[in-house]
Amino acid sequence: MTSDNQSILEIKNLSVNYGVISAVKQMNLHIQPGEIVALIGTNGSGKTSALRSISGLNKELQGQVWFEGKEITKLEPHQIVKRGISQVPEGRGVFPDLTVLENLKLGAYVRKDKAAIATDIQSMFALFPRLEERKKQLAGTMSGGEQQMLAIARALMARPKLLLLDEPSMGLAPLIVKEIFAAIRQVNEEGVSVLLVEQNATMALATAHRGYVMETGSIVVEGEAAELKNNDVVKSVYLGIG
């Protein structure tokens, strides 16, 4: 068991090295069931390396990753998806030569319940109505915002208990960002825990319950989102205040 058996996710002393470069240094982080937790920091601070370690995509790591009281550090990515963790990668990663509908069906590849998959596709169309309008369109021909909606919907098709989001606002117009974050809040209200990696610290802290700030591979500040919004370092470096 984890030392905190209430946590849905617990990272213990995680370190990731790429050759001589230390991307993540002795990182500790936890998420309670039903929480949105923001992980903010500048480019190169180690946020994506941390997410990839949770998803099983990073094998060059030390430390432990625990999910629902069981260690998942050494599991393969598809095994981690089956356990209940889905990741939306930076850059969206949709299959450009497949339609919206085909992308959504691929998101459910670990499932066999065809009737429930069909129901969930309709739920994704309710969450992002644009996807229904474009369900027969090739994903590669859609706008960046539409592709981000599809990437999130595809990840949700695995019915995750924990959703990992890597820079969901990157390169998107402000109105689309609001739509994406409204959907993230809705998904969370329906019971999915969220770890949100985001450079837009203002939006991230307005959405999250708690947050962690990373600098050069280390957590330097952590706390309730409201506390972080009032932290002098966070205000000056990440929120552009002061």
Identify the H or E element spanning 223.
Answer: strand 218-224
For range 152-179, the mean pLDDT = 95
pLDDT in tens, 30-59: 999 999 999 998 888 899 999 999 999 988
For residue 38, what pLDDT is reported?
A: 97
Enumerate the β-bridge partners of residue 197. 39, 166
What residue segments make up the domains of the chain, in order of their start? 1-84+161-242, 95-159
pLDDT in tens, 128-163: 999 999 999 999 999 999 999 999 999 999 999 999
d(CA 160, CA 191): 10
Q: For residue 99, what is the DSSP state? A: B
pLDDT in tens, 59-94: 889 999 999 999 999 999 999 999 999 999 888 889
For residue 241, what pLDDT is reported?
A: 66
For residue 110, what pLDDT is reported?
A: 87
For residue 1, what pLDDT is reported?
A: 34
Give the CA angle between residues 32, 112, 127 to the nearest 5°.
55
Its CATH architecture, for the domain 1-84+161-242, is 3-Layer(aba) Sandwich (3.40)
Contact (CB, 8 A) for 66 and 72: yes
Of 41, 38, 80, the residue nearest 58 (C-alpha):
80
For residue 43, what pLDDT is reported?
A: 83
